[in-house]
Structure 1
Amino acid sequence: TISFIGTARALDRALVNAAGYRIHTTSVAPFKRDLRGIVAAASMLPATAQARRILRSEGASVVVGMGGYPSLPVVTAARLARLPALIHEGNAIPGLANEAAARLTTNIAVSFPETVRLFRRRSPRLVGLPMREAITRFSREALRSEALESFGLSSELSTVLVFGGSLGAVRLNEAAIGLAARWSAREDVQMIIVTGSAHDADVRARIEPGKLTVRVLPYVQRMELAYAAADVAVCRAGASTVHELAVVGLPAVLVPLPIARRKEQHANARMLVDAGAATLIEDVSATPEYLDSVIAPILGDPAARARMADAARSVARPDAAEAMAGWIMSLAEARRA
């Protein structure tokens, strides 16, 4: 059986319950590098005790920490209970929770090649990032017709997909609005703009009617269809996004989140940029004019797009979920032996 320990956020509970699993919570506070860090440190002791009780009640054999502050008291509880623990770092630069958790276990999985050297005096294993089967089994050829039909797009035109993650990104939404205005008279390109639920109405109202076909959506339930419809993506560089782009082989213009203290998204982006699968643009430079100048040569050169797609797939790790599952089961079996 599988049980989850997470936060009390409604979204966490909804996602886990919808998948058919049970979720527990502890009282651990978010980690911060300011005075709030004192609160987080003080919350660790009771949260660890709570996590230990949960592990005991669930009869846990293995603990898997996927990063984020809720995982640290659980990994700590596993260490105290002498249970095997495996941690996974999704970003190229480890977060605070996993930096601490790495001192409590030798089982460390990472998603990006450059992360291996950042866990000093440890021996992380590069496995990639676990993803949904709809992504790992992605076939553009099999999905293309369904994808274009679902968005009401033409198979004769090039498609630009702009999205900013699950919550959207104001900078990318503004850039998309500007691009739509610049391209309003074009009949050789079409756009999908995924705004995030909070921004949908505003973006939709500001798209000026013209010859350009623009589909504005608050979110996309089946992201694989958006990838299959697109010829190039303009997006942030979160860990999931970068790994999904690699697996589906979609050329990209990456605009990393600028406010991250450690520039995690810049580090994530390097995997695709160094492979020749993406171009990186700083957030401040993501104007419609500059994006147009970067996107135009990609759209205008099918051979270049094909090379970028091949480069993306060359760094993909679609078997990450299987690798993680096998590792977890081996730890459980070793404990039972």
Structure 2
Amino acid sequence: MSQETKHTSSHNGRRILISGGGSGGHVFPAIAIANELKNQDPDCKIHFVGATGKLEMKKVPQAGFSITGLPIRGMQRKWTLKNISVPFRLLISLWKARKLIREFKPDVAVGVGGYASFPILRAASRMKVPTIVQEQNSYAGVANRLLKKSADWFFVAYEETRKVFPEEKIIKTGNPVRVELKEEKTTVQDAKKHFGLDANKPAVLLMGGSLGARSLNNAMVANADAIASNPDIQWFWQSGSLYEKEMAESRTASLDNVKMTAFIDRMDLAYKMADLIVCRSGAMTIAEICLLGKPAILVPSPNVAEDHQTMNANALVEEGAALLVKDTNANEKLILKAVEVLQEDARLIELGKNALRMSKPNATADIASCILKVAKGQNPKGDIEDDN
């Protein structure tokens, strides 16, 4: 290890940097990893690094961890003047990353995806600090691809990533999930009552993330007649903050068998009460669906790099663990498909069973264990059963 980063840890008390964020799909798994690290080694010191102004700058301190913000930003797909500042922001972020590493003296640096991962892992690698990339998706992002030669380890969830990263550096851990989701003991009936639903009628959980998904919302609006004509099917519709006002004025939102909300206050109860889930196919959402063995219809977002959400979804579809409706077909097919599936109990059971079979319930614990081994200078390879 280089002189400027050399750090001597006690037997416990390893110092761990966790970088990344930008969206809930990166932030909440990172917090889950941090909580498990503290569970396995209460004396370890954890510090987060995120992008200024992003979700992690709020959620990480709420979870009880410290965080440093970097001015890093990504290139906009369409040309904008903001792109001019991107190279300068990157240089400043790299400088700040090196400064933080010198001061914090980490035993290991972990990147969970998002803009802030790259400068921290690049700087850490050059300063001889062991680095770990936690790649959640079936298609590795640009930043992680740039790190494929310099990072020491890649913790992955999908077989497709073996085509990108060096095989000898890969550990197939699965994706970290919030363990409290599995531990929720509330009954399905009580979970439905929590959201003002009839405890004895089936319910669809349709969610588009914190901001919302335009095509999922449009499908709800366009299919008001179909929803109204099936009054025994309830819809718990999470519109997202961007679309709350517009969707609240729709006919669908006023139907007796529809409950619309911008946010979900208790995701554990929302998952518990759902007889069928309709959602995007981000890595965290898929991991949680599999953990809980929930039947789902996935609508991959078209607004992601290299269409990786379709690849995520197909991994489940090929195993009979989920159904897929293309974003472009959502208005025409999504709601009718949900109504059809909810009337086939055997199909719901089969989808849920296959989803559960694909889960890696120990992923969070395995990831934390491997991180601590790397922090201690040990080789984590072979500790986790690889189903390759």
TM-score, normalised via structure 1 length: 0.91
Given candidates 343, 359, 362, the residue that maps to 1:319 is 362
Given candidates 65, 87, 98, the residue that maps to 1:52 is 98
Cα deviation for residue 86 of structure 1 reads 0.8
Q: Is structure 2 residue 123 aligned with structure 1 residue 80? A: no
Which position in structure 1 is the counterpart of 2:56? Answer: 12
Which position in structure 1 is the counterpart of 2:200? Answer: 156
For the 8 Å contact 1:32–1:40, the answer to whether it is kept is no
Which position in structure 2 is the counterpart of 1:193? Answer: 237
Alignment of 1:265-280 (within 5 A): 265-280=309-324
Matched residue type, 2:280 = R
What does the per-residue CA deviation read over 1:234-268, in whole Å, with 9 as the maximum and x for residues that have no partner? 11111111111111111111111113340010011
Q: 1:96 and 1:278, CA in 2 relative to 1: closer, same or farther beyond 3 A?
A: same
Which position in structure 1 is the counterpart of 2:6? Answer: none
Whole-Å separation in 2 of the counterparts to 1:55 and 1:263: 34
What is the number of residues matched between the two proteins?
Answer: 332
Give unmatched runs, 5+ long, in structure 2. Answer: 1-44, 379-388
Give unmatched runs, 5+ long, in structure 1. Answer: none
Cα deviation for residue 146 of structure 1 reads 2.5
Matched residue type, 2:100 = I
Q: Secondary structure at the match of 1:25?
A: strand
Cα deviation for residue 119 of structure 1 reads 1.9
Alignment of 1:112-261 (within 5 A): 112-120=158-166, 123-137=169-183, 142-208=186-252, 212-261=256-305
Whole-Å separation in 1 of the counterparts to 2:280 and 2:126: 39
For the 8 Å contact 1:63–1:83, the answer to whether it is kept is yes
For the 8 Å contact 2:190–2:199, the answer to whether it is kept is no
Q: Is structure 2 residue 351 aligned with structure 1 residue 308? A: yes
Q: Is structure 2 residue 114 aligned with structure 1 residue 68? A: yes
Matched residue type, 2:141 = G
Cα deviation for residue 136 of structure 1 reads 4.0
Whole-Å separation in 2 of the counterparts to 1:184 and 1:45: 55
User: Bigger CA drift: 93-102 or 153-162?
Assistant: 153-162
For the 8 Å contact 2:300–2:313, the answer to whether it is kept is yes
For the 8 Å contact 2:72–2:90, the answer to whether it is kept is yes
Which position in structure 2 is the counterpart of 1:281? Answer: 325
User: Bigger CA drift: 23-32 or 192-201?
Assistant: 23-32
For the 8 Å contact 1:162–1:176, the answer to whether it is kept is no
Q: Secondary structure at the match of 1:262?
A: helix
Matched residue type, 1:130 = P
What does the per-residue CA deviation read over 1:22-57, in whole Å, with 9 as the maximum and x for residues that have no partner? 111233332567878785455444422311211121
Cα deviation for residue 201 of structure 1 reads 2.4
User: Bigger CA drift: 28-37 or 143-152?
Assistant: 28-37
TM-score, normalised via structure 2 length: 0.79
Whole-Å separation in 1 of the counterparts to 2:159 and 2:207: 26
Matched residue type, 1:301 = E
Across the aligned residues of Structure 1 and Structure 2, the Cα RMSD in angstroms comes to 2.3
Matched residue type, 2:358 = V
Alignment identity in percent? 30
For the 8 Å contact 2:204–2:233, the answer to whether it is kept is yes
What does the per-residue CA deviation read over 1:76-133, in whole Å, with 9 as the maximum and x for residues that have no partner? 1211221111111111100011111222123111122322233256531111111112
Q: 1:203 and 1:181, CA in 2 relative to 1: closer, same or farther beyond 3 A?
A: farther
Cα deviation for residue 211 of structure 1 reads 6.7
For the 8 Å contact 2:145–2:164, the answer to whether it is kept is no
Q: Is structure 2 residue 341 aligned with structure 1 residue 298? A: yes
Cα deviation for residue 299 of structure 1 reads 0.8
Q: 1:219 and 1:210, CA in 2 relative to 1: closer, same or farther beyond 3 A?
A: closer
Whole-Å separation in 2 of the counterparts to 1:313 and 1:208: 32
Q: 1:209 and 1:87, CA in 2 relative to 1: closer, same or farther beyond 3 A?
A: closer
Whole-Å separation in 2 of the counterparts to 1:111 and 1:179: 35
Whole-Å separation in 1 of the counterparts to 2:256 and 2:122: 55
Cα deviation for residue 219 of structure 1 reads 0.9
